[in-house]
Structure 1
Amino acid sequence: MSPPLRVGIISAAWGAKAHLPAWRSLDGVEVTAICTSRPETAAKAAEDFKVARAFHDFRAMAADPEIDIVDCGTRPPLRFDMVMAALAAGKHVYNGIPFAKDLADARAMADTWQSARTVAVVDAFMQAVPAMVQMKAMIDAGWIGEVFGADVAFEVPLFSAAQTNVPGYVWFADPANGASAGRNLGSHMLHLLVHFFGPVASVTADQSLTLKAWPLEGETIRPAVPDRASMLLRHASGLPTRLEANWCKIGGDGFRFSVWGSKGRLEARAPVFPMAHDTRLFGTQNPALGSAAVGEIAIQPEYLAVPGCRAVADRPETGLLALASIFAKMRDAINGDGAAAPDFAQGLHVQEVVEAAATASHERRWIDL
């Protein structure tokens, strides 16, 4: 039996709280290190999360010969140097979303990955949620017939005039962090659309800032990025799709992903971010005029388990089974079995779409990629 792959996680926030349980659910993987920006916080994180080794310098972690995979879980401007250091050291890399703060960084990371010839994966785990995996399999098998179109929306009040519901994410307000509703929420949905329907050939968009102030514990955050984005996309196949992202919509419907064709329609729904335990699948093949009803479709057992993984689909931990599924494919690819996805090539393409959408909104025109 091969020795376990050793993972070092950079971040005691999202990386430790969400990624660590998923890595630990896998056979053949061991989380051996955690890294924060200071010795005292690194030591505390290692103690709190029961990780053997603590680092306060990501370069030292990247260079360590006893680490195989570096999981980078911080905001985009910080992640760039971390990813580049890990790739330069020949490490396999897991990179967050948004992929990069801008297109130059995205291209540099993708080029370095191609040269390093290691396994590098992006944190777009929506496509691994069981309902989405079954939905794609049904579409590929012809359940809705010829695909005519799709729309996807993620509309929730992360921020409102009354309160900030995600205080840990106020960094979204600063354009220097590569943030916006289209870049953050939109990137996740774009990965899903590209995974289902292939690359995007052209895009037009409308993006704007609506909520000018976020209240936060006695202070006011003044965002300087769009908090809503509408995108019309034309895939290389010719298929049209539509995307809506809004992080200030009070009473928003959460997540909805609808695909329709010549024989019917399928729709995945989640109350907030799609997770294995709360994303439900609906569908109809009823062609009757005015019939909007869709019935719930049970998720089949084969989509609720991952080989070599002890994660359980109905547990509510953030992203647990979907993350574990992405990690498992990464583990298998490193061991020479199959390909990991979504990889840095897909990450770069989505970044290209994000940047083109921003230009399209500013110039009020379609942009060809």
Structure 2
Amino acid sequence: MTNSPLRVGIISAAWGARAHLPAWRSLDGVEVTAICTSRPETAAKAAADFDVARAFHDFRAMAADPEIDIVDCGTRPPLRHAMVMAALGAGKHVYNGIPFAKDLADARAMAAAWWSAGTVAVVDAFMQAVPAIVQMKAMIDAGWIGEVFGADVAFEVPLFSAAQTNVPGYVWFADPANGASAGRNLGSHMLHLLVHAFGPVASVTADQSLALKAWPVDGETVLPQVPDRASLLLRHASGLPTRLEANWCKIGGEGFRFSAWGSKGRLEARAPVFPMAHDTRLFGTQDPALGSARTEEIAIEPGHLAVPGCHAVADRPETGLLALASIFATMRDAINGKGVAAPDFAQALHIHEVVEAAGRAADERRWIDL
């Protein structure tokens, strides 16, 4: 294990600085030493605003710098491909966003570069690290619901509506050139969760469509060209059937819910929007009589509310803080020779293959085997 802190360079003064920077800074043995944007003036301002020592305006220079160990790649998928490839080519450890890539060719290229580099590479699918979901998986693995019969996961929220855009910084979702859609963005996060819980997917069928034809943004109108809802039926390699629903234009949507049931009972994790440590709750019921199947809230065990070598607090409302820090901690530990970092690029490639297969299945109206 190294005695020196691991040095992180973050590409992005938006999501990367707002969400990732506090999570990296919550870890022992890690220092954020650099930030990169596309222009010298914005890089200098970001470094000053976020109290980061070094500013870069060329991600290739950041990737090549010998005083950086980990490159955290923010921004949208088409831009991240070159960033990831430069970092892996320089032998860096890499953290990459979701969706993993804009298309399957880029996904395969990044996975191949990672295998060649032999470094630690992880993606931003941190739902699996939310304490309620960590406990849910542990209870499933311990047999609390008995033999697992099925599961479904849904993320249905009004990110965009005819009256307002609630996430103006994500208008890039409207353009297919960015590798975006409800199934690719929201769906990728949920697919990572399903694969983490139940193993790889063997086959998929899907239905996807665009319902809301216009988004109002700052007095202008954006015309989206990608599906805003996706329904997937999945068959895992184990034979388990699961279901996924993604919708980013659902007014009054119930947010996030992840349910699994079996021969003894059912468990369900719920969150008002994206699942976070502070607002995701766990519910369950075991073999009730017909008509009395009410689920009761299950307390989260203290051991799931903390990460070794991390000072993030579970009930703080910052975006993804503890869950992100937990994933970052697996990177730190794996780099230092302890444990395995997850979700890695191998899982990310598999998820991207499922996403692409789902799009094909929707177009061809049939099941696709992976």
What TM-score bracket applies, with the shorter chain setting the length? Answer: over 0.9
Instruction: Give the C-alpha shift of residue 286 in structure 1.
Output: 3.3
Residue by residue over 1:217-252, the C-alpha shift from the partner in whole angstroms, topping out at 9 and shown as x without a partner, is: 110000000000000000000000000000000000
1:78 maps to 79
1:258 maps to 259
1:307 maps to 308
- Residues of 1 paired with 2:293 and 2:278: CA distance? 25
SS at structure 1 position matched to 2:292: coil
- Residues of 1 paired with 2:178 and 2:217: CA distance? 19
Instruction: Give the C-alpha shift of residue 14 in structure 1.
Output: 0.2
- Residues of 2 paired with 1:364 and 1:248: CA distance? 23
Task: Name which of structure 1's ranges 289-298 and 123-132 shifts more when overlaid on structure 2.
Answer: 289-298
- Residues of 2 paired with 1:112 and 1:217: CA distance? 40
SS at structure 2 position matched to 1:328: helix
- Residues of 1 paired with 2:106 and 2:69: CA distance? 23
- Residues of 2 paired with 1:268 and 1:103: CA distance? 31
Equivalent residues in 2 for 1:208-219, closer than 5 Å: 208-219=209-220
2:273 maps to 272
Residue by residue over 1:294-324, the C-alpha shift from the partner in whole angstroms, topping out at 9 and shown as x without a partner, is: 0000000000000000000000000000000
SS at structure 2 position matched to 1:325: helix
* TM-score, normalization by structure 1: 1.00
SS at structure 1 position matched to 2:86: helix
SS at structure 1 position matched to 2:306: coil
Equivalent residues in 2 for 1:285-300, closer than 5 Å: 285-300=286-301
Equivalent residues in 2 for 1:194-213, closer than 5 Å: 194-213=195-214
SS at structure 2 position matched to 1:137: helix
- Residues of 1 paired with 2:348 and 2:76: CA distance? 15
What 5-or-longer segments of structure 2 have no aligned partner?
Answer: none
- Residues of 2 paired with 1:298 and 1:13: CA distance? 34
SS at structure 2 position matched to 1:332: helix
Identity %: 89
1:58 partnered with 2:59: yes
SS at structure 2 position matched to 1:288: coil
Equivalent residues in 2 for 1:30-109, closer than 5 Å: 30-109=31-110
SS at structure 2 position matched to 1:154: strand
- Residues of 1 paired with 2:104 and 2:347: CA distance? 13
- Residues of 2 paired with 1:106 and 1:319: CA distance? 25
Counterpart amino acid of residue 80 in structure 1? H
Instruction: Give the C-alpha shift of residue 291 in structure 1.
Output: 2.4
- Residues of 1 paired with 2:166 and 2:195: CA distance? 30
The Cα RMSD (Å) is 0.5
- Residues of 2 paired with 1:147 and 1:193: CA distance? 13
- Residues of 2 paired with 1:11 and 1:291: CA distance? 50
Residue by residue over 1:121-164, the C-alpha shift from the partner in whole angstroms, topping out at 9 and shown as x without a partner, is: 00000000000000000000000000000000000000000000
- Residues of 1 paired with 2:218 and 2:44: CA distance? 28
1:246 partnered with 2:247: yes
- Residues of 2 paired with 1:268 and 1:318: CA distance? 18
1:131 maps to 132
- Residues of 2 paired with 1:158 and 1:9: CA distance? 26
2:153 maps to 152
* TM-score, normalization by structure 2: 0.99
Instruction: Give the C-alpha shift of residue 289 in structure 1.
Output: 1.0
Instruction: Give the C-alpha shift of residue 182 in structure 1.
Output: 0.1
SS at structure 2 position matched to 1:356: helix
SS at structure 2 position matched to 1:54: strand
Residue by residue over 1:66-106, the C-alpha shift from the partner in whole angstroms, topping out at 9 and shown as x without a partner, is: 00000001100000000000000000000000000000000
- Residues of 1 paired with 2:26 and 2:366: CA distance? 47
Post-superposition, which runs of at least 4 consecutive aligned residues in structure 1 deviate over 6 A? Answer: none
Instruction: Give the C-alpha shift of residue 287 in structure 1.
Output: 2.8
SS at structure 2 position matched to 1:71: strand
Residue by residue over 1:245-284, the C-alpha shift from the partner in whole angstroms, topping out at 9 and shown as x without a partner, is: 0000000000000000000000000000000000000000
Instruction: Give the C-alpha shift of residue 29 in structure 1.
Output: 0.1
Instruction: Give the C-alpha shift of residue 55 in structure 1.
Output: 0.2
2:185 maps to 184
1:341 partnered with 2:342: yes
SS at structure 1 position matched to 2:268: strand
1:327 partnered with 2:328: yes
Counterpart amino acid of residue 61 in structure 2? A
1:162 maps to 163
Aligned residues: 369
